[in-house]
Amino acid sequence: MPRLHALELLADEAGQDAVRRSWQALRDAGLASQLDHPSPTNAPHVTLVAAPDLPPAIEELAVRLVRPLLPITVRASGLAVLGGKKVTLVRLLDVPEGLTRAVLELRGEVAEDRHPGWLPHVTLARRLPRADVQRAVDVLGHADAELNLTALRRWDPERREVRSLLL
């Protein structure tokens, strides 16, 4: 499978800290956590679109559609489990309708978008054994959190770098 380029939203410092506390709680419990991802570019984020290639026109469209909406507050609510024997654990996001419309318009212009629609979320753990899901849910609890999304970035897996798109 090719490495995917991505356009992502980042939360402000308080939102980043809230997600990192969940990552740390999982690690402290001896469970898989996004803290296990060693890349210096690893940060809590919301993926808008991911594809094998994202041409400059897609970046420009993302800036045009998303910039007027930022900053935007979303609610990190319920947990979801994605995958098979090893799963990805995510915190689902309740997002305003305007952001959903903008993201769906953006995704409609990407030729190789692998997933229809959009499931806004923040990843908490990857490759979590299915047998550990209940323990992870117990560790994380059910409290909601607000995240103030303030930045748009592009992830380039070939160069292993991120670049801000809202300068």
pLDDT at 166 exceeding the cut of 80: no
pLDDT at 71 over 70: yes
pTM beyond cutoff 0.85: yes
Residues 6+ apart with CB under 8 A from 139: 25, 26, 29, 31
How many Å apart are CA 52 and CA 167, to the nearest integer? 24
Q: Which residues share a beta bridge with 6? A: 50, 155
**Chain segment 98-141, per-residue pLDDT in tens:** 999 999 999 999 987 667 899 999 999 999 999 999 999 999 99
Residues 8-25 pLDDT 10s? 999 999 999 999 999 999
β-pairing verdict for 145-156 and 161-164: antiparallel
State the helix-helix crossing angle for 97-108 and 56-66, rounded to 10 degrees.
160
Q: How far apart are CA 57 and CA 116, in angstroms?
A: 20
SS3 32: coil
